[in-house]
Amino acid sequence: MKPIKYIFMKNKIIVITGGATGIGLAIVKELITHNTVVSLDRNASKIAALKTAVPEITSITADVTSEEDLSKAMDAIEKLYGKIDLLINNAGKGSQFDFVNTSEKKLMENMEMEIAINYLAPVQLTKKALPLLQKSTEPVVVVISSGLAYVPMAFLGTYCASKAAVHFVTMSMRHQLANLKIRVVEVLPPVVDTELSKEATIAKMPPDKFAKLFLEKLEKGENVMNIGQTAGLEKFSRFLPKTAFKMLNKRGN
């Protein structure tokens, strides 16, 4: 791919969650040259690797499901930079869903974890970041959901449900934050080659390609980004929902 001509994404204060690996790391690497990037991560060894790979990063240790960690992170960013131009809610987790064979305890633990990380955390962090976003002249909030917010894969049942939840709340946040002139962007990735998709046996998009496609669309001003195979999935889900479900699950019911 050709290098992106950055006009909008220059000299910005950017905050990303889960920037230490996968899609987040690819976005960090693409943005770090022309911007200040702060990454919120909880895993010490991943943070160490991030600092080695991207020495210019500002790293803050935070679990996105901890209200206290998020408050401390916002305080630190306020002291360091006084504003946020771009907030990227990227951190996510998924677990296998086997409704019949998983114990009730494990099923509920997985579901609570996915709801906390994939749905509640982006909403809570965006709420906490509002005062700092309002200090920016062109504030943007990004939520990375999933193409599976349109059509569920049965073996990822609770993950897809958490992504559908964040998909809908992002539409509501976009509508309401327009009054504050805050742009809200939703990115719906296809299968991207990261730790999260390691069990998937289908073709995967490389994370650096995904990051470039996302940032090109961000530069163009798109607010709903159906990237790669998600574009087709979105159309099928609207016009042929049963076929879409069948395609993903090999069975129609």
> Which residues bind to ligand NAP, rule: CB under 6 A?
17-18, 20-24, 41-43, 46, 63-65, 90-93, 117, 144, 146, 189, 191-192, 194-197
Of 140 and 144, nearer to ligand NAP (C-beta) is: 144
Shortest distance in whole angstroms from residue 7 CB to ligand NAP: 26
- Cα separation, 155 vs 52, whole angstroms: 36
Q: Cβ of 171: how many Cβ atoms within 10 Å?
A: 14
Amino acid 215 reads: L
Element housing 37 (H / E) = strand 36-41
CB of 62: closest distance to ligand NAP in angstroms? 6
Q: Which is nearer to ligand NAP, 139 or 189 (CB)?
A: 189
Closer of 22 and 136 to ligand NAP (Cβ): 22
Q: Which of 60, 51, 50 is nearest to 81 (CA)?
A: 60
Beta carbon of residue 145, minimum distance to ligand NAP (angstroms, whole number): 7
Q: Minimal distance in Å, beta carbon 162 to ligand NAP?
A: 9
Please state, in angstroms and rounded to a whole number, the distance separating the CA atoms of residues 131 and 150. 32
Given the complex with ligand NAP, which of 65 and 136 has the nearer CB atom? 65
Minimum distance from CB of 159 to ligand NAP (Å)?
A: 7
> Is 234:188 a contact under the CB 8 Å cutoff?
yes
**CB nearer ligand NAP, residue 92 or residue 136:** 92
Nearest to 123 by CA among 172, 182, 189, 73: 172
Contact in structure between 4 and 216 (CB atoms under 8 Å): yes
